[in-house]
Amino acid sequence: MLQVALLRENPEAVKRKLAVKHFNQIELVDEIIRLDDLRKATQAKFDEVQSSINAASKNIGALMGQGKKQEAEALKKEISELKPTLEPIKTQYTEIERELYEKLVLLPNLPQDEVPAGKSAEDNVVVRQNGDIHPPAGGNQPHWDLIREYDLVDFETGAKITGRGFPLYTGQGAKFQRALIQYFLDFNTAAGYREFIPPFMVNEASAFATGQLPDKEGQMYHVTEDNFYLIPTAEVPVTNIYRDTILQQEKLPLMLTAYSPCFRREAGSFGKDVRGLNRVHQFEKVEIIQITHPDKSGEAFEQMVEHVEKLLQSLELPYRILRLCGGDMSFTSAITYDFEVYSAAQERWLEVSSVSNFETYQANRLKCRFKNDTGKTQLVHTLNGSSLALPRIVAALLENNQTPEGIKIPKALKSYFGKELITK
């Protein structure tokens, strides 16, 4: 959530940055400033009346001590007339503050200066690309055919158990999932990230704190009776560990990692690009999160991008890194780099990770702060990244490693999977 002070400091600059994200309610900036002015004026009015009551109350005792009973009674009457005016002012203040807050949470985070002002994925900028793109030596089948041929995922039974988009991994497919999850977690913890296993459902306060509410309400599965939400990513529960917390500056940065299943309704998704594992309602993902000093978040962002890049390199997959344009960024992000791996069989790039810096946007909702060198309480910066999301990684590994003997396992995964090939 943006801070009102930021809007007041330079409203025109805020409007220009919101336009980069193609936010269509720019007038909210002026409306929030107007409400903030009204809130301050109402507070001043309340303080003025309260001050008059306090002063009159103080003088009554002095007048009574001087025997000036008539003047004291006049002041008592004045107080009795002033006191009833306080409650309506207080009610007005509460209503103004509520309206201001409701409008403030509608504003997305402001993009950093280097974010391109594009409208869609076509306007994202390729930062760098690595790896050779060529047809696999052992065939060019898409992963949904390979899955059936090698008996790795049973989509039909998954649909019977739950519904479409809930895959049932079987045999070598289940083992391959487990091997990838363990490898990703080990890779992250070796780099200094502390591992967590979080709850897989969160309450409304947690979903709001990381920005899923109200922006992505329709994309989350909602357990209505208990008002819990199935998590779309481990970012939500893990970041909320530090909600309503004042951290010690010397403990920053906090580096966290977690595996979780992820649940997304993906409402409106259809077509060939969602076939097989390309887009499902339940999938596995390993997440990395950093909570940092504001002066260090740019450095932390580059560190996380480098970390995910090294992980992809270890999987021997061709990849590229994109700087997302304003129109393709999330509501909460100040800057995002996407990682995509190339599928030769599908002849397209598949997104497998996003690394984002939220600056103080989440921290302001979380009320996650630290005390700086002067003893003043200050908001932290939060960052997160996928390290990695499994469905499209699995798709790319299957499609790019086809051989006549089976699916070749990358060197880094052999000890985790226990074999060099996925065989029929």
Q: Is 352 annotated as a binding residue?
A: yes
Is the pLDDT at 89 greater than 80? The verdict is yes
**Residue 384 known to bind ligand:** yes
Q: Check the annotation: does 264 bind a ligand.
A: yes
Give domain limits for the chain: 4-104, 121-422
Q: Would the pLDDT of 268 be above 60?
A: no
Ligand-binding annotation for 331, yes or no, is: no
Q: Is 233 annotated as a binding residue?
A: yes
pLDDT in tens, 26-46: 999 999 999 999 999 999 999
Q: Are 181 and 259 in contact (CB under 8 A)?
A: yes
Provide φ and ψ at 338, rounded to 5°. Answer: -100, 145
Per-residue confidence band for 104, with pLDDT thresholds at 50, 70 and 90: very high
Q: Within a 10 A sphere around the Cβ of 137, how many other Cβ atoms?
A: 11
Length of the chain equals 424
Cβ-in-10-Å burial (0-12, 13-18, 19+) of 61 comes to exposed
What pTM value is reported for the model? 0.91
Closest CA to 396 of 363, 334, 350: 350
Q: pLDDT, tens digit, for every residue of 328-382?
A: 999 999 999 999 999 888 889 999 999 999 999 999 999 999 999 999 999 999 9
- Find all residues with CB under 8 Å of 289, minimum gap 6, and list them: 235, 238, 239, 254, 255, 256, 257, 258, 382, 383, 384, 385
Domain at 121-422: CATH code? 3.30.930.10
365 is in an annotated binding site: no
What is the sign, positive or negative, of the torsion defined by CA atoms of 112, 113, 119, 122? negative
356 is in an annotated binding site: no
Q: Which string of DSSP letters, residue by residue, matches 64-118?
A: HHTT-HHHHHHHHHHHHHHHHHHHHHHHHHHHHHHHHHHHHTTSPPPPPTTS---
Q: Own/partner pairs for 225-231, CB < 8 Å, 24+ apart? A: 227/203, 228/201, 228/202, 228/203, 229/201, 229/202, 229/203, 229/204, 230/200, 230/201, 230/263, 231/198, 231/199, 231/200, 231/201, 231/202, 231/260, 231/262, 231/263
Give the tens place of pLDDT for each residue, 300-317: 999 999 999 999 999 999
Question: What's the Rg (C-alpha) of the chain?
Answer: 28
Distance CA 81, CA 423 (A): 88
β-sheet with 125-130: strand ranges across = 125-130, 319-323, 335-343, 348-359, 381-389, 282-292, 254-263, 194-196
Strands 421-422 and 377-379, how do they pair? Answer: unpaired
Q: Please give the helix or strand (H or E) that residue 359 lies within, else none.
A: strand 348-359
Residues 83 and 49 sit within 8 Å (Cβ to Cβ): no
Closest CA to 232 of 281, 163, 178, 168: 281
Amino acid at 254: L
Measure the CA–CA gap between 70 and 77, rounded to whole angstroms: 11
Q: 4-104, what's its fold?
A: Helix Hairpins (1.10.287)
283 is in an annotated binding site: yes
Residue 23: pLDDT over 80: yes
354 marked among binding-site residues: yes
Helix, strand or coil, per DSSP, at residue 200: coil
The answer to whether 49 touches 86, Cβ cutoff 8 Å, is yes
How sure is the predictor about 319, in pLDDT bands with cuts at 50, 70 and 90? very high
